[in-house]
Amino acid sequence: AQNGYPISPTLGQYWQLGYNKFKETLSGEEFTSWFKTFAPDGRAPKIGEIWRSPGHADTLRKIAETKAESFYRGELAERIDAFSRQCGGHLSKDDLAAYAPEWVTPIRVHYKGYHVWEIPPNGQGIVALMALNILKEDDFLAKESVDTYHRQIEAMKLAFVDGLKYVTQRDQMKVTVEDLLSDQYGAARRALIGEEALMPEPGEPVRSGTVYLATADGEGNMVSFIQSNYMGFGSGIVIPGTGISMQNRGHTFSLDPNHHNYLEPGKKTYHTIIPGFLTKGDQAVGPFGVMGGFMQPQGHVQVIMNTIDFHLNPQASLDAPRWQWIEGKIIEVERDFPEHIALALERKGHQIKWGMGPGGFGRGQIIWRTDDGVLVGGTDHRTDGTVAVW
């Protein structure tokens, strides 16, 4: 932040798109600080150009020196509160002071000899687990097979519509995580998959802007970590002089009072960012993640199946062409997706759209530990990530 960072290719592309969008849509004094911080020369920084943000550097020093007290109860909290009130916002210093991190127990499903772990709701990791729970009884003999893609897509659609209906803050969900991940419910959803593309509907279980990184060390410690402002640059509100860009993670809620995900004070509504983890027996295999909004659980399912069903190494698992369910029967596929399979999927009733670039198909990272204790990493070619070893 202090000395500058050279803008990398993928970052530069999205920065320019964000700038273009904000230039067209944001007006008013409350957004002036965003442009001063992220477009200091009246434009987005160019690829390869050094960008500096001394406000960020000063903020990070204050957070470090006060052990985060400045952000939650001190000077930074006061500045956030003041600018929020100036802009007609609702975030107050009392909200910041009342915040406490939540330690949660991850949720999991057993998939063909492995356990796949995700963060529980309000995150959407359960969507990936529901899809894998539907697919776990199938034997996939070939990756590049129309039947493989068809069943993956159908399972993903069924899991997603359930997630979009039921997922919210866990203690306010009207169905339990255990019900959604039960063998019985997985089997019932699996039975709906036929030869033709279906129009997905939520089931009725029995009642009882993102950065991902992974790291591991030689002592067996592993971390799966994800953070996001959402929608690229978040809300467009930057606290003057601090570099703090206010996020937009509360976006995915409903204003229908009858919806499971209805917005209420203090409630953590549906959240898209989900770090993943894989274990076998009582041993950690490693962390994995695919960032990218609603592509995330779809990317998790594809990466895990590439690893377990098709025995691809981490880099090949990430490099494989991807698809994503958009809505109804609409499936978007990458430009290098096999055309003959796309045509075969259309014959099954799927509506295929060809993606214009890699941006919408997620950007992932993986570290697996082999039986011999060797750490093997992969980084997505769709982003500026790298595998660093020391």
Question: Measured between alpha carbons, how far is 389 from 288 in angstroms, rounded to an integer?
Answer: 17
Rounded-to-integer distance, Cα 319 and Cα 296, Å: 15
Residue with tokens 């306010």: 172
Rounded to the nearest angstrom, the gap between the alpha carbon of residue 293 and the centroid of all alpha carbons in its chain is 5
In angstroms, the Cα distances linking 322 to 209, 300, 319, 342 are 20, 11, 9, 12
Active site residue 269: no
CA distances from 321 to 43, 238, 306 (A): 34, 37, 11
Dihedral (CA of 301, 223, 77, 79) sign: negative
Catalytic residue among 210, 272, 307, 379: 210
Q: Classify each residue of 56-86 as buried b or exposed e, where b means 16 or more C-beta atoms within 10 Å of its C-beta.
A: bebbeebbeeeeeebbbbbebbebbbebbee
Length of the chain, in residues: 390
Taking the C-alpha atoms of residue 136 and residue 223, their distance in angstroms, rounded to an integer, is: 26
Contact by Cβ (8 Å): 44, 19:
yes
Q: Give CA torsion, residues 348, 354, 360, 365, to 10 deg.
A: 70
Which are the catalytic amino acids? 210
